[in-house]
Amino acid sequence: MAFASTTEERTNVMGNMLMLHGTFTNGGGDTGGNIVCGDHLSSIVSFGANAGSGTAGTGAGVDGVFALLNGTTVVIQSVAGQDGTWWALGRR
């Protein structure tokens, strides 16, 4: 199974800002992937990701989920097989 993500259909609007959020899953050998937000956001102001507590990784700050920004794409990097949630706040 490859990296896959979902985006919650119910977005949150705060003034001129829109928050997207959803989940991501990694197969046993997958270590992340891209979540494209450009269909909804013109720019991203803040973003993040969290690992699920029941997925791969030792925790304790050794390995976890990192979210990087590439334009309007959130890039998830994690240990193999780790699943979790993500969010992005930006301008419409």
Residue 29 belongs to what domain range?
A: 4-91
**Report field, pTM of the whole predicted structure over 0.75:** yes
pLDDT, position 70: 95
Report the DSSP pairing between strands 17-25 and 66-70. unpaired
- Ranges in the chain, pLDDT < 70: 1, 56-62
CATH number for position 19? 2.60.40.3940
pLDDT, position 25: 92
pLDDT, position 87: 95
Phi-psi region of 80 (alpha: psi -120 to 50; beta: other; left: phi over 0): beta
Number of domains in the chain: 1
pLDDT, position 48: 93
- What is the distance between the alpha carbons of residues 34 and 70, in angstroms, rounded to a whole number? 9
